[in-house]
Amino acid sequence: MSFNEFKRWLLAQGVIFVRKGKGSHMIIELNGKKSVFPNHGKKEIPEGTRLKIKKDLGL
């Protein structure tokens, strides 16, 4: 799964992209829980990164 595909999936779950962080990173939020989303476009997202973001947001 690419970063763009995962971003679309997060948006479908109701995640809000709050603001831009450093570099290509974005701060995301769902129900008061926050995480950092590294937006690297078409590159494949590592499994551990994807699972950590889902865990942080309670998905």
Count up the domains in the chain and report the number.
1
Q: Output the pLDDT for position 28.
A: 96
Cα three-residue angle 42-48-50, rounded to 5 degrees:
50
Q: Is the pLDDT of residue 3 over 90?
A: yes
Note if the pTM is more than 0.95. Answer: no
| Phi, psi angles (nearest 5°) of residue 29 | -145, 145
Q: What is the pLDDT of residues 15-57, one digit of tens each?
A: 999 999 888 999 999 999 999 999 998 999 999 999 999 999 9
Q: Output the pLDDT for position 21.
A: 83
Q: Domain with 52 in it: what CATH number?
A: 3.30.920
Q: Compute CA 4 distance to the chain's CA centroid, rounded to the nearest angstrom.
A: 10
- Rounded to whole angstroms, how far apart are CA atoms 10 and 27? 13
Close Cβ partners of 53 (under 8 Å, ≥ 6 residues apart): 6, 10, 28, 35, 36, 37
Domain ranges, residue 15: 3-57
